Chain A
Amino acid sequence: MSLLDVQRSLVGFARGSTREYQHCDNLTQAENEWLTQLLDAPGLHVTQQVQQWWRVSRVCATAPLTIALLKRNGLEDLLIEYIITEPIRTLFFAAELEQFKTFLHAQPQVDATTKTLVEFEAGIKTAIQLAAAGNAAQREDFSLWLKFQCNPPALFTALLTGTPLPPVEPEPYHLEISPHLESLWISHHHNKIALPITTTA
Chain B
Amino acid sequence: MLPQPSVRKLGVGINYHGYFHDLILRHLDLIDYIEVSPDIFCEEVIGSDAINGDQRSFRLDTSKVQEALVIGKRCPVVVHGLSLSIGSVSGWNSDYLNILDQYAQQQPFAWHSEHLGFMLVENQDGSESHAGLILPMQFTQEAVDLLCPRIQALCTRYQAPFLIENTTYYLPNFPAADDQQWDEIDFLNQLLTHTPCGLLLDLYNFYCNAINFGFDPYAALARLQLDRVVEIHVAGGVTHEGFLLDVHSREVPEPVWELLAWILPKLPNLCAITYELLEQALLVTGEEKIVAQLQLCKNFWNDYVQMSINFTQPNTSHLIQQEITNVAA
Q: Which residues of A contact B (CB under 8 A)?
A: 1-4, 6-8, 10-12, 14-15, 20, 23, 30-31, 34, 37-38, 41-47, 49-52, 54-55, 57, 87-95, 98-99, 125, 129, 132-134
Cβ of B105 < 8 Å from any Cβ of A? Answer: no
Question: How far does the alpha carbon of A66 sit from the alpha carbon of B240 in the complex, in Å?
Answer: 29
- Is B243 within 8 A of A46, CB to CB? yes
Q: Which residue of A lies closest to B83 (CB)?
A: A91
B residues 1-59 near A (Cβ < 8 Å) are 39, 42-46, 54, 56, 59
Known: A51-B131, A93-B43, A95-B45. A7 touches B118 (CB 8 A): yes
Known: A7-B89, A91-B119, A133-B59. A51 touches B171 (CB 8 A): no
Question: How far does the alpha carbon of A93 sit from the alpha carbon of B240 in the complex, in Å?
Answer: 25
Which A residues are CB-close (under 8 A) to B119? 11, 91
Which B residues are CB-close (under 8 A) to A55? 132
Residues of B within 8 A of A (CB-CB), count: 52
Known: A14-B131, A133-B62. A20 touches B241 (CB 8 A): no
Question: How far does the alpha carbon of A42 sit from the alpha carbon of B242 in the complex, in Å?
Answer: 9
Q: Which of A57, A88, A98 contacts B131 (CB 8 A)?
A: A88
Cβ of B124 < 8 Å from any Cβ of A? Answer: yes
User: Can you offer 5 A-B residue contacts whose CB atoms are under 8 A?
Assistant: A6-B174, A89-B46, A92-B42, A129-B59, A132-B64
- Is A91 within 8 A of B172, CB to CB? no
- Is B175 within 8 A of A43, CB to CB? no
- Is B60 within 8 A of A133, CB to CB? yes
Contacts A3-B142, A90-B56, A132-B61 known; list 4 others, CB within 8 Å: A43-B171, A43-B243, A51-B131, A129-B59
Which 4 A-B pairs have CB atoms at the shortest separation, nearest pair first? A51-B132, A43-B170, A88-B132, A92-B44
Known: A20-B129, A89-B54, A133-B60. A95 touches B243 (CB 8 A): no
Q: Which of A2, A38, A42, A94 contacts B43 (CB 8 A)?
A: A94
- Mask: chain B, 158-202; 1 = CB below 8 Å from A; 0 = not: 000000000001111011110000000000000000000000000
Q: Say whether chain A's binding surface is mostly helix, strand, loop, or mixed.
A: helix
Question: How far does the alpha carbon of A52 sit from the alpha carbon of B68 in the complex, in Å?
Answer: 29
Which B residues are CB-close (under 8 A) to A54? 132-133
Q: Which of A11, A42, A93 contacts B121 (CB 8 A)?
A: A11
B residues 244-261 near A (Cβ < 8 Å) are 245
Q: Which of A10, A20, A94 contacts B123 (CB 8 A)?
A: A20
Which A residues are CB-close (under 8 A) to B176? 30
Q: Say whether chain B's binding surface is mostly helix, strand, loop, or mixed.
A: mixed
- Is B143 within 8 A of A88, CB to CB? no
Q: Which residues of B contact A (CB under 8 A)?
A: 39, 42-46, 54, 56, 59-64, 82-83, 88-90, 118-124, 129-133, 135, 138, 140, 142-143, 146, 169-172, 174-177, 212, 240-243, 245, 280
Question: How far does the alpha carbon of A93 sit from the alpha carbon of B143 in the complex, in Å?
Answer: 31
Q: Which of A2, A47, A93, A99 contacts B171 (CB 8 A)?
A: A47
Which B residues are CB-close (under 8 A) to A37? 172
- Is B142 within 8 A of A2, CB to CB? yes
Known: A6-B174, A38-B172. A14 touches B132 (CB 8 A): yes
CB distance from B68 to the nearest CB of A (A): 13
- Is B131 within 8 A of A129, CB to CB? no
Which A residues are CB-close (under 8 A) to B245? 46, 50
- Is B121 within 8 A of A4, CB to CB? yes
- Is B46 within 8 A of A7, CB to CB? no
Q: Which residue of B lies closest to A99 (CB)?
A: B46
Question: How far does the alpha carbon of A31 sit from the alpha carbon of B143 in the complex, in Å?
Answer: 14
- Is A132 within 8 A of B132, CB to CB? no
- Is A10 within 8 A of B44, CB to CB? no
Which B residues are CB-close (under 8 A) to A45? 241
CB distance from B303 to the nearest CB of A (A): 35
Which B residues are CB-close (under 8 A) to A38? 171-172
Q: Which residue of B lies closest to A50 (CB)?
A: B133
Known: A6-B138, A10-B131. A43 touches B212 (CB 8 A): yes
- Is A12 within 8 A of B89, CB to CB? no
- Is A14 within 8 A of B82, CB to CB? no
Which B residues are CB-close (under 8 A) to A41? 171-172
Known: A4-B90, A46-B245. A90 touches B46 (CB 8 A): yes
